[in-house]
Each structure stands twice: as structure tokens, then as C-alpha cells.
Amino acid sequence: MNRSSCWGIFREKAHSPGRESDDAEILRLTATQLEARGFRVELKDPDGLGAPGAARPRSIFLMCERPAVLRELRAWETAGVRQVNSPVAVLNTYREQMIAQFAEANVPFIPSRLVATAGEGDWGPLPVWVKRADVHNTQEGDVVFATSREALEGALAGLAERGIPRAVLQRHVEGDLVKFYGVGPGGGQHAAPPWFRWFYHKDQRVAGHAFDQTRLAQLVRRAAGALGLEVYGGDVIVTPAGQPVLLDLNAWPSFALYREEAAAAIAGYLVQRFRGGPR
């Protein structure tokens, strides 16, 4: 492989509220791990991918999320540039698309409804989480816990005023909030991801509901496969009955609690993919 053919692309700062340094650091550590394995890596801002017709790398690992950039990278992928995650997989994490993909693949997911942010509607029972239907949390107001009709309508109106036409309403489920990270190809109902870690979200009182960790890992890998993700993270609620309920799945998180370990796992996987291995 040409040592100068590998790029890493940072996430847009607007898509990393409060996590800018964490997101940048996992990309840099992954680059360092790849360089130790014989790659020469160039790290790029998503707005600095070069002029049309400029030389392209043979491989890219990316954290960017803006549709315009992903469409450009998708054209490169079609032309033969290997990419992790695939731009299509990143776009699949947009909530509206994610709900459709999970439904098609019959992946268990938190009950969710797509609604218009403008106008009246039958919003169903409360409380609910109001989330913008495209990207994940970028600023205050993108995700709101609504316990009253007034709060729900205010959250929708706030999104509408910002030009966001649709929102997702998700039922509130009581339980322990568990976050997870995964590396490796998704898919398969009976196998855990090649690299997988979970932990309790810190800002909560943990009840410690017992659950099957293998079952959680299998659910996560199945969900990642439905979206086409290879480097990912997300959230589940573990109910008092021990049922893991999938809330969200994201492309390439910051891996904050496991950064060094994750960077090594990601780099090892990228070497396989960039040298022609299957997804």
C-alpha cells in the first residue's frame, strides 16, 4: 500500500458539542496507531478535502457527519476509495433514516414516532423525549424531555423556528442508562462485536438491574449491521425486568473511557479493511 494514501477526517465542531477535544483525540490516537502499523496518515478537516480533481487517498477513516461532505465522500467510495465508516452508514444514523432501517431489518428499538415540528397533532401519552429527526445532539433544544403538552409543543416549536421540519418522539422508559462502544462488522443475531465495551452513564442513580451482557452485545451488533456501521457507540435502557431497550446508535463516538484501548482496536480493524479485507 502507498504509505501516503490514508486520510482521517475530523468531525465537524458543530456536531461535537462539549466533546470537540474528545472526538479529535480518538481520531489522532487512531492515526498514531495506524502509523505504527506502517501507514502514513494525513488528518483532514471536513471542509478541506481538496479541490475537484485533486489526488485522493486510497483509504479514509472518518468522523464527519454533514450530508454535503458525506455525499462527496460517497462518490469517492463508489470510485474505489475504501472508507470506515461508509458515508452511507453515517447517513443511516440520522434518526429518521435509522428508524426506517431498523424497522426493515426487524431490529428491536425504542417506540418512536416521526412528526412534523409545525402545526397541531395527536402526540400520544407523556412523558416523551423530543429529538430532531436528522443529526444527533448538536445544541440545546435538539433533545428535550417533555413531561407536559406545553413542554412538548415548545420543544417542537423551537425546532421549527430553526428550520428543522421533523422530530422524533420517543417513549420514556424507566431503567438504568447504559452506554456502549463497538468495533468490527455488524450483522448476525448470535454473535457479539469483535470489540465491545459497555458502562453506566455517570449522571444517574444506578439501580443495577441484572441483564444478560451477551444479549446486549448481540442486539448492538445486529443494530450496527442494519445501518452498515463498523465503528460505533450508543445507548440502551436496561429495564427493571432486565430487558435492554435500544435508544440510539451513533457512528464513531469519542470512546472517552476506553480511548487508548479503542484506538488500538480500531486501527487493527482498519488495517484489515484497508488492505482489502471484507467488511
Host domain of residue 179: 95-109+173-251
What does pTM read for this prediction? 0.92
Q: What is the pLDDT of residue 55?
A: 81
Neighbouring-strand partners of residue 167: 115, 132
For residue 90, being part of any structural domain is answered with no
For residue 140, being part of any structural domain is answered with yes
Confidence of residue 1 (pLDDT cuts 50, 70, 90): very low
User: Which whole number is the average pLDDT over 36-55?
Assistant: 84
The CATH number of the domain where 27 resides is what?
3.40.50.11950
Q: Are residues 77 and 117 in the same domain?
A: no
Are 64 and 76 in contact by the 8 Å Cβ rule? The answer is no
Q: Are residues 54 and 162 in the same domain?
A: no
Q: Are residues 52 and 151 in the same domain?
A: no
Q: Are residues 65 and 164 in the same domain?
A: no
Q: What percent of the chain has pLDDT over 90?
A: 77
Confidence of residue 225 (pLDDT cuts 50, 70, 90): very high
Q: What is the pLDDT of residue 14?
A: 83
Q: Are residues 219 and 104 in the same domain?
A: yes
For residue 138, being part of any structural domain is answered with yes
User: Which whole number is the average pLDDT over 261-274?
Assistant: 96
The CATH number of the domain where 177 resides is what?
3.30.470.20
Q: Are residues 179 and 244 in the same domain?
A: yes
Q: Are residues 101 and 214 in the same domain?
A: yes
Q: Are residues 241 and 120 in the same domain?
A: no
For residue 1, being part of any structural domain is answered with no
Q: Are residues 66 and 43 in the same domain?
A: yes
Count of structural domains within the chain: 3
Beta-carbon neighbour count of residue 122 at 10 Å? 6
Q: Are residues 18 and 150 in the same domain?
A: no
Cα–Cα dist 211/179, whole Å: 14
Using alpha carbons, select from 85, 24, 75, 16 the residue that is nearest to residue 49. 75
Cα–Cα dist 39/176, whole Å: 41
Lowest-confidence segment of 90-104, 117-131, 256-270 by average pLDDT:
117-131
Q: Are residues 53 and 184 in the same domain?
A: no
Q: Are residues 160 and 178 in the same domain?
A: no
Please identify, among 154, 171, 188, the residue that sits at the C-terminal boundary of a domain: 171
For residue 279, being part of any structural domain is answered with no
For residue 225, being part of any structural domain is answered with yes
For residue 41, being part of any structural domain is answered with yes
Q: What is the pLDDT of residue 238?
A: 97
Residue 188 pLDDT greater than 70, yes or no: no
Please identify, among 171, 190, 217, the residue that sits at the C-terminal boundary of a domain: 171
